[in-house]
Amino acid sequence: MKIFRLKDLEWIPASHENRESPSVWKKVLLQKADLSEGRVQMVNWCRMEPEKAFRAHYHEDMEEIFIILKGQAKIFVHGEEAELGKGEAVVIPPREVHEMKNAGGEDLEYLAVGISQGKGGKTVVV
């Protein structure tokens, strides 16, 4: 599990901007080196109600990235545990059992991005 926190990243001008007077600033949350080779299989905007959790599972050939947009989450990956909030992300490698629950009193909203290695793998609930 790799965790990325927006608060730890600096704002830099977007690559297409005038460096002297940029109109768009960015924080690079994830780069090519942070992710597996493959193709984007899914991009989902997800919502989880308070006190809910998704079932522990893994993906045979898909890396999964969760980017927290709103609320607080507790993530469990292969025996590790971490808390995530708005502006934080976690990268979960293929075959790593993971579970996430809403750790706050409001809806949790997050983006789920899947990068498939294209080997026809499945999602396996444990």
Q: What is the pLDDT of residue 104?
A: 97
Q: What is the pLDDT of residue 30?
A: 86
115 pLDDT more than 90:
yes
Q: What is the pLDDT of residue 29?
A: 86
14 pLDDT band (50/70/90 cuts)?
Answer: confident
Nearest to 59 by CA among 23, 92, 25: 92
Q: What is the pLDDT of residue 119?
A: 86
120 pLDDT more than 90:
no
Q: What is the pLDDT of residue 93?
A: 95
